[in-house]
Amino acid sequence: MVSATVGKGTALGAALLSLLAVPAHAAVPGAATTTATAGRLPAPDMAGLDGVLRTALSQGAPGAMARIDDNGTMYTAAEGVADTSTGRAISAADRFRVGSVTKSFSSVVLLQLVDEGKLDLDASVNSYLPGLLPDDAITVRHVLSHRSGLYDYTNDMFAQTVPGFEAVRNKVFTYRQLVNLSLQKPRTNAPGAAYAYSNTNFVIAGMLIETLTGHSVRTEYTNRIIKPLGLRDTFYVHPATAIPGSHAHGYLTPDQAGSALVDSTEQTVSWAQSAGAMISSTRDLDTFFSALVRGRLISATRLAQMEQWAPVNSTQGYGLGLRRRDLSCGISVVGHTGTVQGYYTYSFTSQDGRRSVTALANTSNNASVLGTMARTLESAFCGTKATRAASHGAAPAERHEDIAPAITRD
């Protein structure tokens, strides 16, 4: 059974967000020059968005869905199924594993600790976690911006997609065990020398959160972000394996062409923890990123630091646990991507936070679906005129870095 829904309505949460004051923050060197407000953005292209989701299904995703919150107006689209065994249609209200979108939550908590005078971004990680790293030159800022040079242990863990996953599906790691896996390999660059995405960095972020607060990351996410924003579908359940409530199942694509998808829904995600173990919904992620850029979670100074972009490629930058993407229509949006076994997530907001979109396909290890789902941003922010401007040139091939970035197939 395959079903499709496209809807429009007034989202109470988004409407409340639209009434909040938006503190100004300083321009950041290296940031994109185009800043579009909701009033200047073209209307979302819902027909185009639904077409993107249908294309993802034709490429192997069991289901795909998206939600746009546009300054008080909500749009949703959904295609396919949340559960292949029952045929239940996927819904934009379903919960799912958000993967590396978790990194933005971890970064926000640490930046709040900077605001509170409990953390210095330019201090050595070892000053807070003595003896953890072999180089005192690696700072907190290097970790949050993926410029530490620490090897990403997932390159080896998931070099074989399904066997790698099954080996860790129910395993529980300590933070230090994960860091030690990284330290067994040479570093990719000197501290601060280059951007190189590594999950190791945000495992360290979790260690910093727990050391500085004396509480679990679950407690800090809940008290500092989830409760203040009224997020109803956002959880950190590690090391439990189930997604509570109505949710989309995740389906991992094996490396062997033609092999059956693997239901990867239940897992500890202990291999990621503070780098990728959160559960959420399209509504909650739209609320989170909108609130973030509107200054509800961190100070204007910290937000400006979060948006100091290191170049990733010709159309993307990375700040402190935050991505910037430059779209074909000249608009730049901020947020994060997420890959965890069985789920691809794109969650981004306009630079004023007035329009946000979160899109999800319930499969992974499928490069075609990954590239297709990136086009949800074009439909959401560029409207029907989502054609690449000549000045932008051809877009780089889409590839998540969230799991095993050295493995080109995912």
Concatenated DSSP letters for 53-72? HHHHHHTT-SEEEEEEEETT
Options 18, 58, 85, 100, the catalytic residue:
100
- Using alpha carbons, list the distances in angstroms from residue 214 to 205, 217, 235, 398: 14, 9, 20, 39
Listed residue (320, 324, 339, 299) closest to 205, CA to CA? 320
Q: What angle do CA 391, 395, 398 make, to 5 degrees?
A: 165
State which amino acid sits at residue 116: E
CA-closest candidate to residue 356, choices 387, 381, 326: 381
Helical axes 175-183 vs 199-213, angle rounded to 10°: 140
391: which DSSP letter?
Answer: G
By the 8 A CB rule, do 150 and 186 touch? no
- Note if 100 is an active site residue: yes
Sequence-distant (6+) residues with CB within 8 A of 107 are 144, 205, 306, 320, 321, 322
Residue with tokens 């981004």: 348
What CA–CA distances, in Å, run from 400 to 65, 198, 366? 19, 12, 11
In sequence order, the 6+-apart residues with CB closer than 8 A to the CB of 265 are 97, 243, 247, 249, 250, 342
- Rounded Cα distance, 351 and 334, in Å: 7
Q: Catalytic site residues? A: 100
